[in-house]
Structure 1
Amino acid sequence: MRAPLGTDETPELQAVLDALDDEGCRRIIEALDEPMAAKELSEECDIPLSTTYRKLELLTDAALLEERAVLQPDGHHTTEYDLVFEEVVIQLDEDRTLDVGVTRPSQSTDERLETLWAEVSKET
């Protein structure tokens, strides 16, 4: 399970540009009004499941999506994906190089705890 970058870190410019340049990735972003599983996104966006997984990886690598495990009542788990940005800004910095800024939604205490637990679990 991969979590997005922390709020004090910014994603790589090229990773964000690659993800946003991809039509399938943009369709996934538009479809994610609530957390969804890859299969649901595949059906909603009319993208083959194997391609959906590649698009989800692009978006996660660009720190625009978060993947999280959700425990099901039967004891199994499902991976769901959710947006972790409100705005992406590409700008020219004072050195005349392109820079990316990502505005993240504020997290509730429960969400911060979940993110922290995901990081601890990833390290162990």
Structure 2
Amino acid sequence: MPPAELLRALGNKYSAEILDATDEPLSAQTLSEELDIPIATCYRRIDELTDHDLLELHDSVLSDDRRRIKVYRRNVDEVTIDFSESLSVAVEERADVTNRLDEAWRSVSQS
């Protein structure tokens, strides 16, 4: 993905707040409420961040009223922007150990 495109997605209003909040999986509704983001805007940012592999659909959980709710978690731990030579954006994905622990926990909790 071109660095300018990734930088544009990161620069959109609310993108940084959503990434910061999704260290743990959260639904769009929860993000909207906790960050005071209009729900339609929240879904647009989630879609954009997901398209750029910065956010991922983590799971689909049952709500108290037995509805499926998608929860999202950021897919990155660090983003570095460098302008020294030419624009470059380096993305450090979540640690594999963290992802494996999350998967194991999800398997156990669904049993």
TM-score calculated relative to the size of structure 2? 0.72
Q: Which amino acid aligns with 1:103?
A: E
Match of 2:34 among 27, 44, 62: 44
Tell me which residue corresponds to 1:99.
Answer: 88
| Deviations, residues 81-124 of structure 1 (Å, cap 9, x unaligned) | 1111111112358xx432221111222335579xxxxxxxxxxx
**Larger strand percent:** 2
Does residue 1:87 correspond to 2:78, yes or no? yes
Q: In 1, distance between residues paired with 2:61 and 2:17?
A: 27
Tell me which residue corresponds to 1:120.
Answer: none
| Deviations, residues 40-87 of structure 1 (Å, cap 9, x unaligned) | 000011111111000111211222111133242787532111111111
* DSSP 3-state at the match of 1:66: strand
Q: Which amino acid aligns with 1:100?
A: V
* DSSP 3-state at the match of 1:23: coil
CA contact (8 A) 2:61 2:71 kept: no
* DSSP 3-state at the match of 2:33: helix
Q: In 2, distance between residues paired with 1:92 and 1:46?
A: 32
Identity %: 33
Moved over 4 A (4+): 73-76, 110-113
Structure 2's unaligned 5+ residue stretches are: 105-111
Q: In 1, distance between residues paired with 2:61 and 2:29?
A: 16
Greater relative CO (CA pairs within 8 A, separation 6+): 1
Does residue 1:20 correspond to 2:10, yes or no? yes
- Quote the RMSD (CA, aligned, Å): 2.6
CA contact (8 A) 1:70 1:78 kept: yes
* DSSP 3-state at the match of 2:59: strand
